[in-house]
Amino acid sequence: MSGYISSSLPGMGMRKSTGILWVLILLICPFNLAFAGDIAVWGDSGASQAAPEEGSDFVAVSAGVYHSLALRSDGSIATWDDTVSLQSLAFLETDYIAVAAGGFHSLALRSDGSIVGWGDNTYRQADPPEGNDFVAIAAGVEHSLALRSDGSIAGWGNNYLGRANPPEGNDFVAIAAGFFHSLALRSDGSVVAWGYGAYGQADPPEGNDFVAIAAGDHHSLALRSDGSVVAWGQNWYGQAESPAGNDFVAIACGSYHNLALRADGTIVAWGDNRYGQTDVPEEDGFVDITGGDTFSMALKESVSSVLTVSIDIKPGSRLNRVNLRSQGVIPVAILGSGSFDATNVDPASVTLNGVAVKVVGRKHRLLAHLADVNRDGIFDLVCYMETRLLASEPGVSIAVLQGNTYDGAAIEGEDFIDAVKPWARRYKRHVQLSKSPKGK
């Protein structure tokens, strides 16, 4: 009923990993192209699972039949679907590194190497084995796979035609779960397959130059080290044909269509297009792809908007001179204005030339406070950094301040510092005294 995806590296979940993946979704409705944050979706838009979650902090996406998953950069999981169901749950934890959406179940890999499963559990496909040695996951329609750190594969769920019964061995580096068949990539670059193979989907090509795999409903894909793509299996919609070119870096299978990501960040798609699932957006910047039953998803590289702010090092001083051997601190003011609220800046996130705000006392209090340093009637945030850490060589240089507001916006500002050696300051003082009239 749909194809699914694989992963070989933590963080890529059921989708790509070594650069591969798979997913699915099934509905009959009009199609469109939508963007929300870093996620782009096109094809069947009849259900909310084809509507991307808002945000711009996603690192991986995966789609199931009626639900979708997205992994955020903080390790949390966002889920959405067309109904309130067990397939989509609220995840408050932030220790996940990979997600995989199956037919009606989901998997997630934790940073400690354990797996969490939820959703449809008719064939125990949502009951992963215990252990903390897993490094990759893949969810099929009714079965699941996981790759252990020793290179062996675990399979569970519906084992009809042996799809959940992986071969023995500990030289595997990637896995992919289709409808009734499964794939695995060996460390020597060869591909093995098991399960249903009436369309030849379980008969991979020979060779030792493969670097990624993907499994659809009844067809399969593999990416060669030279950047070319090989397809085999059922070819009802041309999905078992291979695209021309050798600049591909990732592959993905939908139920009856495929996606391939080029090195320049553009996407190529072929196969079933009844719902517009192969009408890819004509732009670059994509870093990840996944195919659903009648739609497709891609992750676009985040173009972070950094807010430029005004800062004043050593407020009131025009020289901004710092002693390279000083054991003290130097004040840095982040200036508020009519369009920028400096009180919303998180001092714990602030650095100047990579130096964080100084922490003092047993309670580890940040040395920072609010003040109107330029007397414009607007509060500024004054932070204190250890002077000796700001520069290693004497001379005038630009110091860069970076940080975040409490609501997550990035800020950046610049000012100059004049780093001097202690003897230079004493010498200048000596010269000043020697030129002064006697008795003064």
pLDDT by residue (tens digit) across 89-133?
545 577 899 999 888 899 999 999 999 999 999 999 999 999 999
Do residues 381 and 322 share a domain?
yes
- Domain of 272: which CATH number? 2.130.10.30
pLDDT digits (tens, 9 = 90+) for 358-399: 998 888 899 999 999 999 999 999 999 998 888 878 889 999
The pLDDT value recorded for residue 45 is: 66
How many domains would you assign to the chain? 2
Q: Which of 300, 321, 355 is the last residue of a domain?
A: 300
**425: helix, strand or coil:** helix
Do residues 257 and 381 share a domain?
no
DSSP secondary structure of 245-286: -S-EEEEEE-SSEEEEEETTS-EEEEE--TTSTT---S---E
Q: What is the DSSP letter of 432?
A: H
Do residues 199 and 58 share a domain?
yes
**345: helix, strand or coil:** strand
The pLDDT value recorded for residue 82 is: 52
Do residues 324 and 200 share a domain?
no
pLDDT: which is higher, 266 or 52: 266
pTM of the full predicted structure?
0.66
pLDDT digits (tens, 9 = 90+) for 144-197: 999 999 999 999 999 999 999 999 999 999 999 999 999 999 999 999 999 999
**Residue 335 lies inside a defined structural domain of this protein:** yes
Q: Is the pLDDT of residue 287 over 80?
A: yes
**Residue 230 lies inside a defined structural domain of this protein:** yes
E strands, 294-360, where? 295-300, 306-308, 311-313, 321-323, 329-334, 351-352, 355-356, 359-360
Q: Is the pLDDT of residue 44 over 90?
A: no
Do residues 283 and 138 share a domain?
yes
Mean pLDDT lowest for which of 47-56, 361-370, 430-439? 430-439
Cα 252 to Cα 257: distance, rounded to the nearest angstrom: 9
Q: Is the pLDDT of residue 222 over 90?
A: yes
Cα 50 to Cα 47: distance, rounded to the nearest angstrom: 6
* Phi then psi dihedrals of residue 331, to 5 deg: -80, 140
Average confidence (pLDDT) over 306-316: 90
Average confidence (pLDDT) over 414-431: 67
Cα 247 to Cα 280: distance, rounded to the nearest angstrom: 17
pLDDT digits (tens, 9 = 90+) for 133-146: 999 999 999 999 99
* Phi then psi dihedrals of residue 172, to 5 deg: -90, 145
HSE-up (13 A, CA, CB side) for residue 422: 6
Cα 431 to Cα 440: distance, rounded to the nearest angstrom: 14
Averaged pLDDT score across all residues of the chain: 83
**Residue 372 lies inside a defined structural domain of this protein:** yes
pLDDT digits (tens, 9 = 90+) for 26-38: 222 333 444 434 7
**Residue 268 lies inside a defined structural domain of this protein:** yes
Look up residue 34 and give its two tokens. 């939508």
**Residue 431 lies inside a defined structural domain of this protein:** no
Q: Which of 241, 265, 300 is the last residue of a domain?
A: 300
Q: How far is CA 171 from CA 3, 142, 184, 290, in A?
A: 25, 25, 10, 26
Q: Is the pLDDT of residue 400 over 80?
A: yes
Beta bridge partners of 145: 138, 155
**Residue 326 lies inside a defined structural domain of this protein:** yes
Mean pLDDT lowest for which of 13-17, 181-185, 202-206, 255-259? 13-17
Do residues 320 and 342 share a domain?
yes
Q: Which of 267, 300, 333 is the last residue of a domain?
A: 300
Do residues 204 and 285 share a domain?
yes
Do residues 271 and 354 share a domain?
no
Do residues 262 and 339 share a domain?
no
The pLDDT value recorded for residue 423 is: 56
The pLDDT value recorded for residue 49 is: 53
Do residues 193 and 311 share a domain?
no
Contact 324, 422 (CB under 8 A): yes
Q: Is the pLDDT of residue 311 over 60?
A: yes
**430: helix, strand or coil:** helix
Residue 76, domain extent? 6-300
Q: What is the DSSP letter of 162?
A: G
Do residues 166 and 258 share a domain?
yes
Within 8 A by CB and 6+ apart from 282, the residues are: none
Burial 26-64 (b: 16+ CB within 10 A, else e): bbeeebeeeeebbbbbbbbbbbebbbbbeebbbbbbbbb
**Residue 370 lies inside a defined structural domain of this protein:** yes
Q: Is the pLDDT of residue 307 over 80?
A: yes
Do residues 279 and 411 share a domain?
no
Average confidence (pLDDT) over 306-333: 87
**Residue 1 lies inside a defined structural domain of this protein:** no
Within 8 A by CB and 6+ apart from 33, the residues are: 40, 41, 42, 276, 279, 281
Residue 440's pLDDT band, with cuts at 50, 70 and 90, is very low
Q: Is the pLDDT of residue 215 over 80?
A: yes
- Domain of 358: which CATH number? 2.60.40.10
Look up residue 399 and give its two tokens. 């110091």
Cα 129 to Cα 364: distance, rounded to the nearest angstrom: 42
